[in-house]
Structure 1
Amino acid sequence: MKTWHVLLSMVCVVVMTATVSLVNIGGPSVARAADNGLSITPAMGWSSWSFVRRNPTAATIVAQANAMKSSGLTDRGYIYVNVDDFFQKCDGNGFMVDEFGRWAVDTAKFPGGIKPVADKVHANGQKFGLYVTPGIPKNAVLQNTRIEGTNYRARDIADTTRYHKNYNCKNMYYIDYSKPGAQAFVDSWARLYASWGVDYLKIDGVTVDTPDDIKAWATALKNTGRPINYALSNNLNISGAALYKKYANSWRTQGDIECYCPPGGGGSGGPSYPLTSWAKVSSRFGSAATWQPHAGPGGWNDLDSIQIGNGANDGITTDQRRSHYTLWAMAAAPLLLGSDLTNLDPVDLTILKNPRLIAVNQDGVAAKRIYNGPGGVQQVWSKRERNGDYIVALFNTGTSGDQTVSTTWTAVGITSDRANVTDLWSGRNVGVVDKSYSATLRPGETRLIRAVPE
């Protein structure tokens, strides 16, 4: 068994290396998104919001990072450990601040601050992510804190007539970027995060109508000199796709995937389980199809977290979990897990570690939906990899009744009548198939194949 695990790990490394190479050599040239040189393939890792929710602590985050490593997920490419909201401290006026007007860390949750946690994540060979929202805290304005490295103060740059969108502590004023010191304030915040060892930043609450904040943070992160993956959130309007692509490495195309259920215990502070629902997951098919043209090396359509890992507590069936993962793989969406990695279900772990599915996600190509049947129950997605292979996914998104889903090689884009087919979930070679392919699928089931034209 030990030998088999070593061999499988070697196979995965080869697959992943080859996949990254495909993005950079051969095939048509692909326009890159944000010019920070990061996220040439979609980010992979874990985020705290879905399971940990409002209670991140140093011990909890380190435990999740260690579990991601010991489970073998880090060896498969899951490297980001991202702390979402509630690492900060708030009072009646919103976020409490340090002497330069930036969010103060809740030392009851993180006694040594953020840097020791980031250091432990880095010691695992992983990368560390953190969270922010746009604007300047009300407490910074009330205290008129100095902007680090300047003689300007918070009141010099705050637009106190408007509050930014903020989901929890609120009370974030807009920044007036026409004022001297505005960019310097964002720069100082980015420098602080960089000094803690941040490798990934999620900025939550930006919209197509807040381009100045998106640009300012992109500039600030670049000015740190530290490579920091830049993610925009959430439920962004597609009209701003060119803006997001110019400055960021990913952008959330919809609202939260968490179900926040059962009713009465939901909301952002409700129980973590179940993590999601099939309605939440399946709603991503439409947005993945609509946003598909905007994905590419350096910038990806973020469908939100992968809610797989805790078995029945995921809130979706095993078939639905495979469809969930298949869609994210086909869409080349970031693979950021939302589950409790310290309590991994063995079946879910095989889903998350499947090297063939990871390779499909990391090939740097976002698939197109080539068939969408009545009600979206039957769907077919296809993409051509840069080595000439075609990846085809068939879905039954319904919740009752088997469906026979079919496609032709012509519809897929294959000009030959014959293609050699491999089932990517099982790894089984099906053999040469003439002209068309079909599968009878259970409710929520998927079939994913690699078709190599003969």
Structure 2
Amino acid sequence: MRYFLVGLVFGLSVSMSAGAMKRPVESVLALTPPMGWNSFDSYGVYLHEQAAFNNLEAMAEKLKPYGYEYFVIDNGWFGEYALQEGTIFPAEKHAHDVRIDGFGYFLPSKVYFPNGLKPIAERCHALGLKFGVHLMRGIPRKAYELDLPIEGTLYTARDIAVTDPKENCVWCDYCYAVDMSQPGAQAWYDGLIRHVAEMGVDMIKYDDIVPHPDEVEAVAKAIAKLDKPMLLSLSPGGQVDPEAIDFFRMANMLRVTKDVWDEQGYIDACFLAWRKWEGKEQPGFWIDMDMIPFGELQLMSPPSEDASKTVLDKGDIALAGKGVHRVCQLTKPQMETFITMRALAASPLMMGGDLPSLDDFSLKLITGREMLACNQNGVMGSLLVDDGGLETWRTFEKGTVDQGWIGVFNRLDEPVSFRLDMTRLALMSESYHLADVWGGADISFGSMVTLQPNGVLFIRFKGD
């Protein structure tokens, strides 16, 4: 059995780059992990106006009472898509054209948002929620082709764009990278961020930007010039350089995983990321393990006519995201593990499934009182015991040394039974009150517990 020593860090000093902005804690956004809904898991990059309004109303009804506040439209909101004949479904993975204005700034798609985003942003704010959109790093290739001017300068898109394929996104070709050493480069980001803010946006999910700290800094500088708060989330995850943490902390959320879907392998990847990034969180900056793929997913990707394919395979047209229209494929124990991990890791809670059709079990998990309390406690748990396929992770409630939350995770594809004792729970005595969060009942030291494959025992503990 392996045990892990956990040190208490009483001070934190962050060395920022010369261009970085230090913000006093009281002025920082996201003092606790952000919570909201993002359209990608359920609608890919093809969210349309009616679905946006339907999910917005459902979010206000089902999630807002529990603290969820950011309503985020993912990539493609500016894409002029070709559609499958007689349907609203896309006929192409990425739009053959994007809609921009005379300075190259993105405008809402006429295909999927004929009335623009303003009515959605206004309704969002009227409901007491905040509005977010996805942006791709760089400047639209269309702006480069048209050689559009950089607002407020004598420069054009061709003066700042980087066309070298090695510097550009390999999975989405909407934009070229920006050479931040060129005059006009910062002005481009200043203007784009100002434009988005004027659309009523309160949060930006910036994609393809994590590997490019200079453009992270440019976006952060642009946001600092606004006269309104703007939450900044950085993507993609996967290959994230810990040495660039000072640049990443200019934002509020850092994706550290690739896209996460409804299969066990993605849960395993999140456990690895948790080990790697534990302790890097701080008020205003959170380690993001991606969206929560519960409920109905991939509503804009029709099933294949090929009967040999599963719902996790691509459809007849290979669209964005994993698989086709389906209900989350995780078992209930896997779902409990998934959300317990998000709670103990203090990861932002961004629901990904369709909200109007959300099932009761998924809703119960993402609105659980203790789960939310643990998550919003804002302290990433530590791995204390790793033995026989069971992992014990624990976090203390802030300001205490005798209460908090524990997760005992079964990392195996088979049931595991064990006796509940001080060693397994990494507690120094048996003088604690223990409550099984998902079971909804008190439990006692000495009890035998059986965890289902890839399941979890989520415990709220309090000293007597």
TM-score, with length taken from structure 1? 0.82
Matches within 5 A, 1:155-170: 155-162=158-165, 164-166=167-169, 169-170=172-173
Distance 1:161 1:102, change over 3 A: same
Q: Distance in 1 between matches of 2:153 and 2:272?
A: 47
**Distance (Å, rounded) in 1 between the aligned partners of 2:399 and 2:434:** 15
Q: Given the alignment of the two structures, is residue 143 of structure 1 paired with residue 150 of structure 2, yes or no?
A: no
Q: Does 2:420 match 1:386?
A: no
State how many pairs are aligned: 403
CA distance in 1, matches of 2:39, 2:170: 16
Which residue of 1 is the match for residue 341 of structure 2? 327
- Distance across 1 between alignment mates of 2:96 and 2:439: 54
Using the TM superposition, give the Cα deviation of residue 132 of structure 1 relative to its aligned residue in structure 2, in angstroms.
0.8
- How far is 1:400 from its partner? 2.2
In structure 1, what is the equivalent of residue 305 of structure 2? none
Corresponding position: 1:53 with 2:44: yes
Tell me which residue corresponds to 1:287: 273
- Displacement of 1:407 in angstroms is 5.8
Trace 1:299-378 onto structure 2 (pairs within 5 A).
Answer: 299-310=285-296, 313-374=327-388, 377-378=389-390
Mean Cα deviation higher: 48-57 or 241-250 = 241-250
Residue among 103, 118, 133 paired with 1:100:
103
Superposition deviation, residue 169 in structure 1: 4.4
**Per the alignment, do residues 170 and 94 of structure 1 end up closer, same or farther by CA in structure 2, a change over 3 Å counting?**
farther
**Separation (CA, whole Å) in 2 of partners of 1:130 and 1:362:** 23
CA contact (8 A) 1:164 1:171 kept: no
Pairwise CA distance, 1:408: 2.6
User: What is the SS of the residue equivalent to 2:293?
Assistant: coil
Distance across 2 between alignment mates of 1:170 and 1:121: 30
Matching residue of 2:30: 39
Q: Aligned equivalents of 1:250 and 1:133: distance in 2?
A: 16
Q: Secondary structure at the match of 1:447?
A: strand
Aligned to 1:283, what secondary structure does the other structure show?
helix
Q: What is the CA deviation profile of residues 117-163 of structure 1, one whole-angstrom value per residue up to 9, with x for unaligned ones?
A: 11111111111110111111221122111112223221222233356
Alpha-carbon separation, structure 2, partners of 1:198 and 1:224:
12
Asked if the contact 1:162–1:174 (Cα under 8 Å) also holds between the matched residues in 2, the reply is no
Aligned residues of 2:233 and 2:254 also touching (Cα < 8 A)? yes
Query: Displacement of 1:446 after TM fit?
Result: 1.1
1:422 corresponds to: 435
Q: Contact conserved, 1:408 with 1:437, CA < 8 A, in 2? A: no
Matched position secondary structure for 2:110: coil
- Whole-angstrom distance in 2 between the partners of 1:249 and 1:419: 35
- Choose from 70, 74, 84 the match for 2:74: 84
Aligned to 2:459: 449
Which residue number in structure 1 is paired with residue 301 of structure 2?
none
Q: Is the 8 A contact 2:28 2:283 kept in 1?
A: no
Partner residue, 1:62: 53
Structure-2 change in CA distance of 1:429 and 1:306 (3 Å): same
Stretch of structure 1 that moved more, 138-147 or 170-179: 170-179
Equivalent residue of 1:247, what SS?
Answer: coil
Matches of 1:405 and 1:283, distance apart in 2:
28
Please tell me whether the aligned partners of residues 134 and 205 of structure 2 are also in contact (alpha carbons under 8 angstroms): yes
| CA contact 2:209–2:236 (8 Å) conserved in 1 | yes
Does the 8 Å CA contact 2:39/2:72 hold for their aligned counterparts? Answer: yes
Task: State the AA in 2 paired with 1:384.
Answer: F
Question: In 2, Cα distance between the equivalents of 1:155 and 1:53?
Answer: 31
Uncovered stretches (5+) of structure 2, i.e. residues with no partner: 1-8, 17-21, 82-94, 298-325
Q: Which residue does 2:200 correspond to in 1?
A: 197
Answer yes or no: is 1:278 the counterpart of 2:269: no
The alpha-carbon deviation at position 164 of structure 1 amounts to 4.4
Per-residue CA shift, 1:235-277, capped at 9, x if unaligned? 242424523443111111111113xxxxxxxxxxxxxxxxx21
Counterpart Cα distance in 2 of 1:222 and 1:333? 24
> Which residue of the partner structure matches residue 230 of structure 2?
228
Structure 2 counterpart of 1:217, from 197, 204, 219? 219
For the 8 Å contact 2:422–2:430, the answer to whether it is kept is: no
| Structure 1 letter corresponding to 2:276 | T
Q: Partner of 1:203: helix, strand, or coil?
A: strand
Name the CA shift for 1:158/1:216 in 2 (closer, same or farther; >3 Å).
same
Secondary structure of the residue that 1:450 maps to in structure 2?
A: strand
Deviation at 1:47, TM superposition (A): 0.5
Residue 305 of structure 1 contacts residue 337 of structure 1 at CA under 8 Å; is this kept in 2?
Answer: yes
What is the aligned-residue RMSD (CA, Å)? Answer: 2.6
Q: Which runs of 5+ in 1 are unaligned?
A: 1-26, 259-275
Match for residue 19 of structure 1?
none
Alpha-carbon distance change, 409 to 402 in structure 1, aligned in 2, over 3 angstroms: closer
SS in 1 for 2:164: strand
Q: Distance in 1 between matches of 2:442 and 2:39?
A: 38
Give the helix-richer structure, 1 or 2.
1
From 201, 209, 213, give the equivalent of 1:206.
209
TM-score (norm 2): 0.80
